[in-house]
């Protein structure tokens, strides 16, 4: 959740996109459970 907030806080859209992809991959690796769905939704909204 903290990572998602940090990504949303970033103003630049281009950087946000890059960070979003990396965060999604990291989230999937770190979570490796069902918690990836939550960050993915938040990132999609952002």
Question: Which pTM was predicted?
Answer: 0.27
Mean pLDDT, the chain, as a whole number? 59
Percent of the chain with pLDDT over 90: 0
Distance separating alpha carbons of residues 45 and 42, to the nearest angstrom:
5
Counting every residue written for the chain, the total comes to 46
**18-30 pLDDT tens trace:** 666 777 777 766 6
Three-state DSSP class for residue 36: coil
């Amino acid at each position: 959740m903290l990572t998602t907030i940090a990504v949303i806080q970033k103003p630049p859209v281009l950087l946000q996109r890059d960070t979003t992809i990396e965060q999604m991959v990291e989230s999937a690796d770190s979570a490796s459970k069902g918690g990836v769905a939550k960050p993915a939704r938040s990132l999609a909204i952002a």
